[in-house]
Amino acid sequence: MKRDTATRVSVAALGATLLAGVAGVAFAEEQVGPGGEIDVRVQIEDDHAGILAMSVAGTSAQLSEDGSTGTVRQFTGALPTVTVTDTRTADEIPEGAFWWVEGTASSFVGDAAQPEIGPEHLGWSPSVADDGDGVVAVGPEVAPTLDDDASPNNVGLEGRELLAMALTSEEAVGSWQAGAQLLLQVPVGTEVGTYTSTLTLSLFE
């Protein structure tokens, strides 16, 4: 590592020396003999392969208190819009393929060393902007673990949970948008402060 650094420094110093030398040369102002012209050509092939990709319209979601009770403090918010775009042709899509988007959350970590809030306390209600053809299906609602009325699907986003899914990739060519309402429930008495969790979204086929 030290040898490489020394080499780079030496080259830089040499470059400065060369530039200084060139600056002191007097160039002729009159062209000698005929000039020459060179045509530079490039051929760009029509090779625009389609892609399957996902984008998210934002990097954060703010939760605000809404609907708390005497035993549970509740916070709600919205997931930034998730867009899945497929520009492939039928020949580029594997036979029988389908895509889906999953989400999983990490624990909420406090800003003042408070005890962490587990990801099982965060749930969501997914939605899909569909054109009515039913090509893209919405994932099931996943409730926080404190919501006993939603059992057995009150497991929160501790594991990998479905946001949206194309029944077949071939029929879902184009652009599709999905979202979700987020719901965090914690026990009354949870230490005050700011908590942050990372919700990871992934596209699979």
Domains of the chain from N-terminus onward: 52-204 (2.60.40)
The pLDDT of residue 26 = 54
Distance CA 60, CA 66 (A): 19
Tokens of 134: 């039913």
- Across the 205 residues of the chain, what is the mean pLDDT of every consecutive 10-residue run? 33 32 53 84 80 96 97 98 96 95 98 97 95 87 96 96 96 96 98 97 98
Q: Are 66 and 181 in contact (CB under 8 A)?
A: no
The pLDDT of residue 34 = 81
Question: Alpha carbon 2 to chain centroid distance?
Answer: 38
At 49, is the secondary structure helix, strand, or coil?
coil
Residue indicated by tokens 């051929």: 43
**Cis bond upstream, residue 152 (ω within 30):** yes
Tokens of 103: 């989400």
Distance CA 135, CA 200 (A): 24
CA distances from 164 to 2, 80, 113 (A): 52, 14, 35
